[in-house]
Amino acid sequence: MNKIKKNIRATIVAATILGSSLVLTGCVIAPGAYLDPSSSAEAGYNLVDINENVVNPGPVTRRDLSGDDIAEKDEFYQYLIGAHDVLNVRVWNNPDLTTSQNMASSPFNAGSTVKESSELVRERQQVTPEGVEVQSDGKFFFPFAGDVVAEGKTVNEVRRELTKKLSKYVRDPQVSVRVQEFNSQKAQIIGEVTFPRPIPITSKPLRILDAIALAEGLKDSADKVEAVLIQGEKRITVNMAGLLDGDMSENYLLRDGDVLNIDSNRYRQIVIMGEVNKPVAMPYDQRGMSLNDALVTASGISQLYSNAKGVYVLRNKTGSGKPTIYRLNMKNATGLLLADRFPLNARDVVYVDTAGVSRWNRVINQLLPTTNAINDFSE
């Protein structure tokens, strides 16, 4: 009988402690985050209920960010030869003056009766079966033509100069010049791409989309809203959202020394947390995202623990204004329809509150070790 009385007494003491704790502290002792909208004035934020006055007239849909014109027309692009480029020069009907021929057929071969000189040695070093290399001084040596300035010129300009010089030794020379190896100029693509790498500048225009394709695409973590194109001391902000949506005016032409930096999307994410089935940070899509999109990405709100009347969107302040907390009651179908018309911004936080009974259960779970200890002590 005494043991039963002790157990009853211990239970009463535990209940008294529990009741007193709840009366004195309310839900403060409940673990986890909790939003109390009644304290909005003291907290320094604006509390706005999501209703017909703050949502779009219709569902949040994909915005068309495309443009019309390309940044620079391809027909105006011309490749300028640089140091260490390899040129292929062909003089028709004169195989000895064609760089693709074996050097044994050159008029300056080892069996030639022409006196060897430093120029002939230099010619042998430059004119090879693989082509003729433009040296670091911007010139290349070619039989009968001597030194030819190539750096900073187009292949047509080099062809005209070679034709003029060879016409003294060859009747009506028909000369063709093309770049065989592009070694002088490169652009870089860095950041959140599959393979960051230098990309040679060639006779074909290289644009931002070309560079991304050559780097084997963007990573999932890439910022698809903006990128930075560095051209010397100039920094250009590239509207990636528009570009990926077909705005070719953002498809800039890349030139020697340009650096295209694709940053991470960690600064443009939407965080979904609280009583959802899968808390997640999702990339923000500038073309349009709704509150419903975010909740679907988090696999919906928890049917066991969530308070459907307390779905919040936390938006930080812009400029000197206050932060804003938007509150939505999703207890019925009207709330679902409003969520589909509420647009999200980058860096928004979507938070689903915990149901009161769930907070109560968590408090009980915290206090159970205390009541068990009291029972053990009483025994």
Task: For residue 45, give its domain range.
Answer: 37-62+267-353
Question: Domain for residue 93, yes or no?
Answer: yes
Residue 279 pLDDT exceeds 60: yes
> Side by side, which strands form the sheet with 324-328?
46-49, 324-328, 306-315, 349-354, 269-274, 280-283
Q: Is 276 helix (H, G, I), strand (E, B) or coil?
A: strand
Q: Report how far residue 184's alpha carbon sits from residue 138's, in angstroms, rounded to the nearest whole number.
A: 10
Asked whether residue 72 is domain-assigned, the answer is no
Model pLDDT for residues 38-94, shown as the tens digit of each residue: 555 566 788 889 999 988 988 887 666 555 555 566 667 899 999 999 999 988 877
Asked which of 265, 292, 318 is the last residue of a domain, the reply is: 265
- End-to-end CA gap in the chain: 12
114: left (phi over 0), alpha (psi -120 to 50) or beta: beta
- Average pLDDT of the chain? 78
The total number of structural domains that make up the chain: 4
* Residue with more model confidence, 322 or 251: 251
C-alpha–C-alpha distance, residues 199 and 15, integer Å: 73
What is the reported pLDDT for 93? 79
Model confidence, pTM: 0.65
pLDDT, residue 107, reads 39
Q: For 18-28, what is each residue's pLDDT tens digit?
A: 554 544 444 55
Q: Which residue has the higher pLDDT, 95 or 378?
A: 95
Q: pLDDT tens across 293-310, in order?
A: 999 999 999 888 888 888
Domain boundary among 150, 181, 212: 181
Q: Are residues 283 and 239 in the same domain?
A: no
